[in-house]
Structure 1
């Protein structure tokens, strides 16, 4: 919403440049944390090849840049609607890349969530042909970005800030390449007043917090769970506008929100149930391994006592 205000009310019609400002701000903030020794240490470079970091930084630039272009030309509702298509894209991509399957119950739940979000946002679908094409083009980089980030952070034992620190310069480099191609001319002639600059910097701070919290969520859960969390954010925004600001989304949208919340609750329950089931198996194996190791240690420890002592 802050980005939409910057590109709408403030009139900063440079979505790639806005993304560049966001990531430069994030890099400066992380540099301050690093100077204060508050930035987590990255894993050894041998554990993660540079090509993986480079690919993640490149995909992230396309994902973020196209998202802001879509937000510029479409309404927030249509922008959120486009996120629905990310869900099946992630399911298909994870199956192709990692042979990861999703249970039928989860697929049904995700379908319910998608239908609920679609119904909830159907009253705010303002877009044009170019904006719709950008939204479609954004779907694949967004899905790949989430999958790569989640897989790399979990397999390489990266913390969110450490991985952000490594990939942000790569993303900034690609933004510099994309800006002349996708942004309209006139950036330097923009009216950089204190009010306009403050609005842009506030959106940049929100962008850093969003990137950080998103990285934490991807590292702790999965790309699919992150998408469901994003849909939950959409419903929270709509319901809070209805409860706090007395907006009237309409009875149909409220029903869609209730359906989506129900589907998200079931999805969370299924995820916790699977985690609990998996958690019960691991300790059992661990106990057996521990017991075997303990037995081996005891036997090995008894061997010196059973040996006859040679007389000197």
Structure 2
């Protein structure tokens, strides 16, 4: 292997490690803020992320470091706004689930993502029914159901919130294919944040005004963890950038392997740092779901040979902000 090729591999693995690290930081810090630090306001936390990302992206574009794309108002409202609305729901519901569920269990539930993406694709016409795919996804659903049954601290509200986040994320991914990619609109992380983060912020203002604002402003003894919130904002922004870098350099297989390592790492860290109980039945159920997801992804890769970004649209998503708001490539 030449020195140049060796360095290319080193850089790719470096990006992979960076993505795994930042994913873990975002998820674990958000969990700590919302649960252990006593700041039980997931919408407010998400609003801070969107405000920070909007400000940084706007500054980069207005100062000329990144060029904006040509997008008129009609295209923006018809194509971008619906995706931003769904992403707002994904962020809100997913962050809210941290109030009720452990990080380890949430990672197990997220194995359900390929099932909902496939069903949403069937509903909106981007997928064609395949008995082989359907059988794999039944295995995934059984595995997630078993893991849920084995969860000692199962909370129906938290589970419902997390499943709601997965459903909105699935519709978002399919709409990206229908509304953006079909029209040849390609957004890098900065332009994605520039166009979508402000819309997300506005959408989130409505539930914040009626649900959290009265409690937040009425609280007299609330200790706001400004330092941790700032860390979460910076980590979320950096994570979007790292995913874009990784997509451009890695293969579908690399992304799958990295995703598996990240999921198991987060389950382990949740147990070690937060004392989350994990039962044998849960691990067995997650193992079944993991096997189904892995085989499903292998079949997809073999059938379509998609670009690296395709794996991210099928892969179970890890925090709500672990991926770019809009993927750079196609789903299939």
**Common fold by TM > 0.5:** yes
Query: Distance in 2 between the 1:138 and 1:66 partners?
Result: 5
**Pairwise mapping of residues 193-272 of structure 1 onto structure 2 (< 5 A)?**
196-211=225-240, 233-238=262-267, 249-272=278-301
Counterpart for residue 27 of structure 1: 54
Shift in CA distance, 210/125, structure 1 to aligned 2, threshold 3 Å: farther
Task: Give unpaired runs (5+ residues) of structure 1.
Answer: 221-225, 279-312
The TM-score, its normalising length taken from structure 2, stands at 0.65
Query: Distance in 2 between the 1:275 and 1:159 partners?
Result: 23
Give SS of 1:183's match: helix
Query: Distance in 2 between the 1:121 and 1:235 partners?
Result: 17
Counterpart for residue 287 of structure 1: none
Counterpart for residue 76 of structure 1: 103
- The Cα offsets for residues 266-290 of structure 1, whole Å up to 9 and x where unpaired, read as 2332222123499xxxxxxxxxxxx
- The Cα offsets for residues 238-281 of structure 1, whole Å up to 9 and x where unpaired, read as 25668999998454444445444433432332222123499xxx
Query: Distance in 1 between the 2:288 and 2:54 partners?
Result: 39
**Pairwise mapping of residues 148-227 of structure 1 onto structure 2 (< 5 A)?**
148-155=175-182, 156-161=184-189, 162-183=191-212, 185-188=214-217, 189=219, 196-211=225-240
**Pairwise mapping of residues 285-304 of structure 1 onto structure 2 (< 5 A)?**
none
Could you say what the CA RMSD is over the residues aligned between the two structures, in angstroms?
Answer: 4.2
Is the Cα–Cα contact under 8 Å of residues 115 and 140 in structure 2 kept in the other structure?
A: no
1:60 aligns with 2:75: no
Task: Give unpaired runs (5+ residues) of structure 2.
Answer: 1-27, 250-254, 308-332
Shift in CA distance, 63/251, structure 1 to aligned 2, threshold 3 Å: closer
Query: Distance in 1 between the 2:220 and 2:60 partners?
Result: 31
> Which structure ranks higher in relative contact order (CA pairs < 8 Å, sequence separation ≥ 6)?
2
Query: Distance in 2 between the 1:80 and 1:171 partners?
Result: 24
Shift in CA distance, 191/247, structure 1 to aligned 2, threshold 3 Å: closer
Query: Distance in 2 between the 1:229 and 1:149 partners?
Result: 24
Is the Cα–Cα contact under 8 Å of residues 77 and 124 in structure 1 kept in the other structure?
A: no
Shift in CA distance, 217/102, structure 1 to aligned 2, threshold 3 Å: farther
Query: Distance in 2 between the 1:131 and 1:277 partners?
Result: 34
Deviation at 1:12, TM superposition (A): 0.7
Is 140-149 or 229-238 further displaced after alignment? 229-238
Is the Cα–Cα contact under 8 Å of residues 242 and 249 in structure 1 kept in the other structure?
A: yes
1:89 aligns with 2:138: no
Give SS of 2:106's match: helix
Query: Distance in 2 between the 1:210 and 1:151 partners?
Result: 25
Give SS of 2:40's match: coil
- The Cα offsets for residues 64-108 of structure 1, whole Å up to 9 and x where unpaired, read as 112222222333345345535544332222122225215333333
Higher CA-based Rg: 1
Query: Distance in 1 between the 2:160 and 2:289 partners?
Result: 26
Shift in CA distance, 70/62, structure 1 to aligned 2, threshold 3 Å: same
Shift in CA distance, 149/211, structure 1 to aligned 2, threshold 3 Å: farther
Shift in CA distance, 259/216, structure 1 to aligned 2, threshold 3 Å: farther
